[in-house]
Amino acid sequence: MTSPLPELTPAQRTEIELLARGKQPKSRTMRELGQNETPETAHALLLRLGLWSEARTPYADRLHAALNASELVVPEFATEERLDLTHLPTYAIDDEGNKDPDDAVGVEVLAGGLTRLWVHVADVAALVAPDSALDQEARSRGATLYLPDQTIHMLPDALVAKAGLGLHATTPALSVCLDLDADGNAEAVDVVLTTVKAQRITYSEAQAQLEAGAEPFVTLTRLARASRHLRESEGALSIDLPEVRVWADEARATVAPLPKPEMRSVVQECMTLAGWGAAIFADDNDIPLPFATQDYPSREVRGDSLSAQWARRKTLARTRFQPAPAPHHGMGLDLYAQVTSPMRRYLDLVVHQQLRAYLTGVQPMNSKVMASHIAQAMFNADATRQAERLSRKHHTLRFIAAQPERLWNAVAVERRGPQTTFVIPELAFDLTLSTSTPLDKEVKLQLSDVNLPNLSVRGKLM
């Protein structure tokens, strides 16, 4: 028999909510009710009482990720010398509905069979000086928080609106250019302050342009394929696992596979080239950056099956950030820096601040100070990413719970003793069952008994 629901005073309700949100470690009320004093148990009680809806996610709170928008004042762009590139076709290519366009691409044909790849990035560092109030606020967040039901920007919305590429007729940018030959080798790299005229388009629109043979999409694709081939020859790993987008509101959650037109990988390769080019430029000019490095994979995994992709991902060490360059073996690069998302990732902003200081004749911050910034930002960004992961899982479980009779296609990707891990590609969701199903065998699963507070679900082979 289910016990009757308790009547709570406003003070008791607040106390239980604070426990569920991870804001206090204990609850006298929960103890008096004979309940475990854990955030999960408090969450379950709030659901039973109807005080929280199933749409409520407490993970950002528990991880101390900021849920309030920054309201700091954003300065104007200062007048300064920039290379005018408004005559070159430039495209900010992103997912439909994207609200923070911070990179764009274009090409320029040079003599001698070379092609100049331009990767333009919003010049956020022109508005966010090191150790300014805006900088300190961004460092305390570490990254933009992308939740299924809302986005909390690392920087004020007003800055995103001011600096986003393609949101105005022309936009200031920090641009990385690489002069590439037909095989994807870089003859020269440079970093310059520019003014660009960017057109915003979606990946599907860019893909349609590519399939119609339109420029610069054909040339961008050729350059990206050549670059990818070179990196793979240097040991870069290719990992292709299911990806989805998760949306949610109070009424429902939706999970849909992420389309993967070739133009998505083309843009990703251009961003990789920009990071490589920026790292080379910094190394050549003795500019300390938060260089991204990664050790060799722990072992070699061959094959293209889903289980091989799953195993290959597990061989990768975590990317580290340090003031001195070192190889990034997972990407097949001798040095690398993340440079293309300064509105969304704090360490990208630090890269911009350092490059901009050099370009404008200002002394960049030294390695010791930057190492401190790296450590603080990484800690805060880790909390943000974990909050995103848990919130996506929460709403994915809501999506599952709304379809209790549905049978899901799943693939066995890992065996450990008597247990097998399955991936449901439609959900990019994995769970482990006690079964001896062979690797890569496709099965049907029924999912039931969704428990949102514990982020768990029961699976049954059908």
Strand (E) or helix (H) holding 408: strand 407-416
Interatomic CA distance for residues 66 and 166, integer angstroms: 28
Which among 40, 66, 92 is the end of a domain? 66
Least trusted range by pLDDT, from 3-12, 245-254, 435-444: 3-12
Residue 77 lies in a domain: no
- Please, which residues have CB within 8 angstroms of residue 191's CB and are 6 or more apart in sequence? 174, 175, 176, 177, 277, 278, 281, 355, 359
Q: Are residues 205 and 351 in the same domain?
A: yes
| Domain presence at residue 74 | no
The pLDDT, as a whole number, for residue 3 is 65
Whole-structure pTM value: 0.94
Question: What is the radius of gyration, based on Cα positions, of the chain?
Answer: 24
Whether residue 169 is contained in a domain is answered as: yes
- Does a cis peptide bond (omega within 30 degrees of 0) precede residue 290? no
Q: What's the one-letter identity of residue 404?
A: P
Q: What local confidence, expressed as pLDDT, does residue 404 receive?
A: 93
pLDDT above 60 for 2: no
Mean pLDDT of 255-264: 94
Please return the burial class of 284, using the count of CB atoms within 10 Å of its CB with bins 0-12, 13-18 and 19+. Answer: exposed
Return the pLDDT at 99: 81
Task: Pick 462 or 399 by higher pLDDT.
Answer: 399
Strands 198-202 and 90-94, bridge-based pairing: parallel
pLDDT band of residue 440 (cuts 50, 70, 90) is very high
In this structure, are 362 and 436 located in the same domain? no
What is the tens place of the pLDDT at every residue in 278-315?
A: 999 999 999 999 999 999 988 889 999 999 999 999 99
Domain end (from 387, 422, 448): 387
- What is the overall mean pLDDT for the chain? 94
Question: What stretches of 49-109 adopt beta strand conformation (E)?
Answer: 83-84, 90-94, 103-109
The closest of 41, 48, 16, 47 to 29, measured between CA atoms, is 16
Q: What pLDDT sits at residue 370?
A: 87
Whether 398 is in a domain gets the answer no
Beta bridge partners of 422: 412, 431
* Among candidate residues 387, 413, 444, the one where a domain is terminated: 387
pLDDT at 1: 44
Residue 202 included in any domain: yes
Residues 6+ apart with CB under 8 A from 339: 121, 176, 274, 275, 278, 348, 351, 352, 355
> What number of other Cβ atoms are within 10 A of residue 281's Cβ?
23
Percent of the residues in the chain that have a pLDDT greater than 70, as a whole number: 99
308 and 431 fall within a common domain: no
Residue-wise pLDDT for 53-106, tens only, equals 999 999 999 999 999 999 999 999 999 999 999 999 999 999 887 888 999 999
Residue 397, domain member (yes or no): no
- Judge contact between 311 and 414, C-beta under 8 A: yes
Give domain status of residue 146, yes or no: yes
Q: Identify whether the C-beta of residue 23 lies closer than 8 Å to the C-beta of residue 64.
A: no
Span 186-205, mean pLDDT? 96
Cα–Cα dist 128/155, whole Å:
9
Give me the mean pLDDT over the 173-184 stretch: 95
* Domain total in the chain: 3
Do 33 and 115 belong to one domain? no
Where in the sequence is the domain holding 454, given as residue range(s)? 403-461
Q: How many CA atoms lie within 13 A of 18 on its CB side?
A: 14
Same domain, 141 and 240: yes
Say whether both 296 and 152 belong to one domain: yes
